[in-house]
Amino acid sequence: MNINPKKISNPQLKEQEFSINHQKLIDATIETIAKRGLADTTIAQVAKKAMVSQGYANFRFKSKENLLLSSLKFLSDEYKNSWQRIFEDNNLDPVGRVIKIIENDFSSKIASRNKIAVWVSFYSEVKFRPSYLTICQKQDEIYSSQMEKLIKELNFLTDQTFLTPREISETYLSMVDGLWQRILFDPKMYSHVFCKGLIKKYFKNIYTDEKRFV
Amino acid sequence: MNINPKKISNPQLKEQEFSINHQKLIDATIETIAKRGLADTTIAQVAKKAMVSQGYANFRFKSKENLLLSSLKFLSDEYKNSWQRIFEDNNLDPVGRVIKIIENDFSSKIASRNKIAVWVSFYSEVKFRPSYLTICQKQDEIYSSQMEKLIKELNFLTDQTFLTPREISETYLSMVDGLWQRILFDPKMYSHVFCKGLIKKYFKNIYTDEKRFV
DNA sequence: TTTTGTATTGAATAATCATTCAATATGGGT
DNA sequence: ACCCATATTGAATGATTATTCAATACAAAA
């Protein structure tokens, strides 16, 4: 018996990847990992949450592994887009851009405990799944180099010379990763306000004259 | 057929936890997680590496879950001991102590890619296993408060007043966690030398007069 | 040597799950 | 109204794996 009404495929979209069911399954995967962990995420649960049959989920993504990989790619793209929007905003000066970056990195959309749990689940498998590693490494490279360029502009406008742009950007990115992890342990103590404050204080200590790093 | 010679139990040690097989199994568990990941760690593999039968591993630890928990506890204790040794060394002044802490946190014993992989595997399950969370939270609390106290002493000796001890210690601990994670992604770029240098530069920037933060 | 209690084995069990696929549903074209 | 291509189902399959437990090995005591 076919309970669900048939989903109409859009012939314009040659790429399967954009169909409704495809995205429903990816969303359900992320939700399931967030709620139960990667180890306890089964195709049956994901399919149930996405309201399709178990067989369909597998058929659609060819394998569970591929479904997980697609979900990681989706998360990675989501993060990239939010970051990219800030860099493309021509109304921002370097300081404003850094502040937006910090605020984005600890926004409720990006740094929710659920999403962090999903990220860390994938991180934990990076050593064993080359495909995960590739995505995470590429992501890292992009943000490292973009952040470094941004700090270079910032240093150019100030008399800060002791720390190199590379050092500042690596320190920033490490702090973000570390704080995200700590949100997992204790989301109350490591509130978004606390994390943003800590990082702004770091920048304030470097660029003492800049009043916008509260 | 019983291939292995019987292991002699030491009646002095009432606590089962100290027998040879107990430790062999924990070591094998950590090695297996490091090599294959938490998801692909089976009792059969652990038992094989520890050179005991599969049944015995389960009998000894009551359950796989308990074996994993014991392994996490072991790792946690190992870290605590290395840290504690530094705090009990009365020959060190605050600066020397901070430097030792940094060097310990990126020593090959503590910050090997294998061990970090194991840590992150457990971290990734923290949201779903209260027993893991408890251990990680407790660990975090200890280091936060000890580090804060240490920085307080350091501030007392210098004219640094802008950053509070709490802020410095939280920043330090976050950076360490973040850098560890990055070692997973790219151990060559995030070499121990690089990580230690980055953190010392952070301290050097705060305590500009202190020449030992190279 | 024989007995006895403990340590250890390894094969059987039962549960869980990814994957497959034959059967069915659907909706547009004719 | 019928056909056809595609979408979707759901039950069956086979692989993997934690857990159990009856059988065996062993060391020390008697």
pLDDT by residue (tens digit) across A109-147? Answer: 999 999 999 999 999 999 999 999 999 999 999 999 999
Domains A15-62 and A68-206 alike in fold: no
Positions in chain D where some atom is under 7 Å from a protein CB: 6-12, 16-22, 24-28
* Cα gap B170→A112, rounded to integer Å: 20
Question: Rounded to whole angstroms, how far apart are CA atoms A191 and A183?
Answer: 7
Among the residues of chain A, which ranges form H helices?
20-36, 43-50, 54-61, 64-88, 94-105, 113-123, 130-157, 165-185, 192-206
- pLDDT band at residue B20 using 50, 70 and 90 as cut-offs: confident
Q: Which amino acid is at A34?
A: A
**Whether residue A199 has pLDDT greater than 60:** yes
User: Between B125, B163, B178, which is nearest A173 by CB?
Assistant: B178
Q: Is the CB of B10 under 7 A from strand D?
A: no
Question: Which distant-in-sequence residues (6+ apart) come within 8 Å of A87 by Cβ?
Answer: A97, A146, A150
Nucleic strand D contacts from chain B, 25-54, CB < 7 Å: 40-44, 54
Q: What is the average per-residue pLDDT within A8-35?
A: 74
Mean per-residue pLDDT over chain B, rounded = 92
A184 touches strand C (CB under 7 A): no
Instruction: Residue B124: list chain A partners with CB under 8 A.
Output: 37-38, 117, 120-121, 123-124
Strand nucleotide closest to residue A7 (CA to C1'): D7
pLDDT, position A5: 36
CB–CB of A184 and B123 under 8 A? yes
Task: From A138, A167, A6, A143, select the one nearest A82 (Cα to Cα).
Answer: A143
What is the least distance, in Å, from the CA of A82 to any CA of chain B? 21
Q: What is the mean pLDDT of the segment spanning A178-182?
A: 98
Q: Pick the residue from chain B with its C-alpha nearest to A176.
A: B178
- Residue B208's contacts (CB-CB under 8 Å, 6 or more residues apart) are none
Q: Which amino acid is at B75?
A: L
- The CA radius of gyration of chain A, in Å to the nearest whole number, is 20
Positive or negative CA dihedral for B128, B132, B135, B136? Answer: negative
Fold of B68-206: Tetracycline Repressor; domain 2 (1.10.357)
The confidence band for A177, taking pLDDT boundaries of 50, 70 and 90, is: very high
Distance, CA of B6 to C1' of C10, in Å: 16
B23 touches strand C (CB under 7 A): no
Name which of A144, A147, A146, A164 is nearest A155 in CA terms: A164
Q: Check if residue A65 sits with its Cβ under 7 angstroms from strand C.
A: yes
**Which sign does the torsion angle of CA A189, A191, A197, A199 carry?**
positive
**Lowest mean per-residue pLDDT among A55-64, B6-15, B27-36, B88-97:** B6-15
pLDDT of residue B19: 80
Residue A19: predicted pLDDT: 80
pLDDT digits (tens, 9 = 90+) for B155-187: 999 989 999 999 999 999 999 999 999 999 999
Q: What is the pLDDT of residue A18?
A: 57
**A21: pLDDT confidence band, cut at 50, 70 and 90?**
confident
CB-nearest partner of A163 from B36, B163, B201: B201
Per-residue confidence (pLDDT) for residue B21, from 0 to 100: 87
**A127 to chain B, closest Cα gap in Å:** 7
Residue A176: which of B39, B178, B201 has the nearest Cβ? B178
Pick the CATH number of B15-62 from 1.10.10.10, 2.70.150.10, 1.10.10.60, 3.40.50.2300: 1.10.10.60
The residue ranges of every structural domain in chain B are 15-62, 68-206
